[in-house]
Chains A and B, each alone.
Chain A
Amino acid sequence: MKRQVHEFRKKLNINIMSKANKFKMIALAVVTAFVSVNCDDNNNDSPAASANFSGTYVQQDQMARPAINTVFIASGTPKDNFNATVPSMMGASYTSVFKARLLALNSAYTTNALTQTADQLSGLLATDVLNVKTSGTTTFFDGTNVLTGRALADDVIDVELLLIFGGPTGASNPGLTKDNVGANDAPFLSAFPYLAAAW
């Protein structure tokens, strides 16, 4: 036990040393960056010139489609990993996880109102990006347009519930296909910044 502890401590010390050196390097880099910014008079136009934005920023959380994480990934380790997976790698790793979850939620799943099989729906959703069209209506689903964006008023939860539980006609499991909360608690603005004022 004692030896184990000792080795543990030793490793830590090494680690701290290298970390300390890294810090120095970064500090140096920051100073250099600052000097160059300040020397360049032309940069005064930039609103960012006076503040320090240096450093490396590492991902903490990511999100695209609403409630995908909540609905489609069962509690468990995959959830941690999913949040840390870059979208281009999600499809390969998570389609099967999504499919298993889909069939656990609705074991009678055949196809949905969009005629998607379990594989198709899982494959679509497992790559968690929000698709948005650069022309025309942008909506999660409005009866005509499918996944062309996400507007504030879209009842995204009902869409997801319908696709999971509604079956080919949308009429299956009527108690599960909508949460009966159809709109926000405050009207949105038609102009920027669009969201309603805080309560």
Chain B
Amino acid sequence: MKPYKIIPALVFTILFIFACDTKKQNQITNSSDYNKYLNIEGNKSLDFAKKEIDFWQKKYDAAPNQDTYLGLMASHYATVFEYTGDIENLYKTEELLTKVNVDNNYSRVSNLRSLGRNYISQHRFKEALVLANKALAIGEGLKESQKLLFDVQMELGNYSEALANLNAIKDMNDFDYLIRLAKWNDHIGDLDTAISFMEKARDIAEKEDNKTLKIWSYSNLGDFYGHAGRLQESYDNYLKTLEIDPNYSYALKGIAWIVFSHERNTKEANRIVEAIELTHNTPDFYLLKSEIAEFEGNEREALVNKNAYFAMLEKNNYGAMYNKYNTLIYADSKETASKALEIAKIEVDHRPTPDSYNLLAWSYLNMGDNKKALEIVNKHVVGKTYEPNVQYHLAMIYKSNNEMNKVAPIKKELLSSIYELGPNMEEKIKQL
């Protein structure tokens, strides 16, 4: 699928052969680069957001007809959510934006789009689409509405609509256009092009010296370089992110992944993850820890973390946000595969993307219905997405249907995606 992935694969192989000699070169990270971000005192951005909320809340309490203040508070609650992962803040944002929209009878485009973005974060894509279309129909700030529409249509798998909106906002000097163009190219499997547009966007963020956009660019480039096997650049970009915002734990998570998946240093990866958890606590960290434990062969620890994951889902209402994770977990056991199927069906209904159909097919396969799985992937998945984890499922489905000739090429490509998929997948892929 991605020829550029062959090169890192070759490099890997060579490195493996000379494993003893090349251990040093294989090392990308250095704890002295990021230690200072692990137990950082305070969070200026978070404190700022909270102070802003206090300020506007007081003003609003004194004058409850000033909806402007609610909109401002909503954006700061969204910041608190971003830093802490505390889902209540996302719902608080929704509550405030809903009130503003009700008060003005859903007539102001900026409020419609803000609520639409909140729905996207909540994985309520269909509702987001309704609001985006409403904003589009009003017409003001047309390009902003078209950007939102692109984002929503991509999530919903309406790719031709997404492309139409992308073309409508075309401007090679516009950050917002370039990052979406990058996303589109990633979607069609052209990661190199995606990266080059992301780099162009980054250049604009740097030129405009926009802190928010720089943080966003560096951290996303960190991910993209990682997908392309350019791990040194990936690492450097995560560090650049942290240099600007030492509390931006998403970048630390990226570093933890390099340490775990590439360097296979589970102890250090855990140390990083546990440091992040102190300030940013979301269920997916338990899955990461569980995965690390699994690789260490520590099944007990893996299960403890898995249970902690489910306990956290139980405790907080995450809506549909973890549907994908849950499907994948449930699908792997015959006992729970029917549960996986249930959730996968909901996902397909929420967002009929190739990825959602992949979840559906994967659930059927694990319930023993390999024919149905094959039928679904042939119709909805093959040639429509290039995500490595989907490709793995595809290979498994082919294998179970005795279409071995289709397995080999996927296997070859997947062997170059082990970094992206994680160390636990290595054996699985080799056994394909």
Contact = CB atoms under 8 A, between A and B. Distances in A.
Q: In terms of DSSP, what is the predominant structure of the interface of chain A?
A: helix
Given A12-B181, A15-B172, A76 B138 contact: yes
A8 B184 CA distance: 11
A1 B181 contact: no
A75 B107 contact: yes
B57 interface: no
Contact of B160 (A1, A9, A76): A1
B181 A5 contact: no
B190 to A, nearest CB: 8
A92 B108 CA distance: 27
Interface stretch (B6-14, B139-147, B309-317): B139-147
A23 to B, nearest CB: 10
Interface string B81-110: 000000000000000000000000001110
A170 to B, nearest CB: 25
Contacts of B193: 9
B276 to A, nearest CB: 37
Contacts of B172: 15-16, 19
A75 B108 contact: yes
Contact of B142 (A1, A9, A12, A80): A80
Contacts of A75: 107-109, 138-140
Interface in A1-18: 1, 4-5, 8-9, 12, 15-16
B167 interface: yes
B46 interface: no
Chain B interface size, under 10 / 10 to 19 / 20 to 34 / 35 or more: 10 to 19
Contacts of A1: 159-160
Contacts of B19: none
Contacts of A4: 160, 163
Contacts of B40: none
B188 A77 contact: no
Interface in B394-420: none
Contacts of B190: 9
Contacts of B108: 75
Interface in B214-247: none
A158 B172 CA distance: 43
Nearest to B142: A80
Contact of A79 (B107, B140, B159, B188): B140
A76 B139 contact: yes
Contacts of A5: 163, 188
Contacts of A80: 139-142
A100 to B, nearest CB: 15
B244 to A, nearest CB: 24
Nearest to B193: A9
A35 to B, nearest CB: 23
B139 to A, nearest CB: 4
Interface in A145-183: none
Interface string B114-141: 0000000000000000000000001111
Interface in B162-203: 163, 167, 172, 181, 185, 188, 190, 193
Nearest to A12: B181
Nearest to B141: A80
Nearest to A76: B139
Contact of A76 (B140, B159, B163, B181): B140
Interface in A77-106: 77, 79-80
29 contacts: A1-B159, A1-B160, A4-B163, A5-B188, A8-B163, A8-B167, A9-B185, A9-B190, A9-B193, A12-B181, A15-B172, A19-B172, A75-B107, A75-B108, A75-B109, A75-B138, A75-B139, A75-B140, A76-B138, A76-B139, A76-B140, A77-B140, A77-B142, A79-B139, A79-B140, A79-B141, A80-B140, A80-B141, A80-B142
Interface of A: 1, 4-5, 8-9, 12, 15-16, 19, 75-77, 79-80
Given A4-B160, A5-B188, A79-B140, 10 more contacts: A1-B159, A4-B163, A8-B167, A9-B193, A15-B172, A19-B172, A75-B109, A75-B140, A77-B139, A80-B140
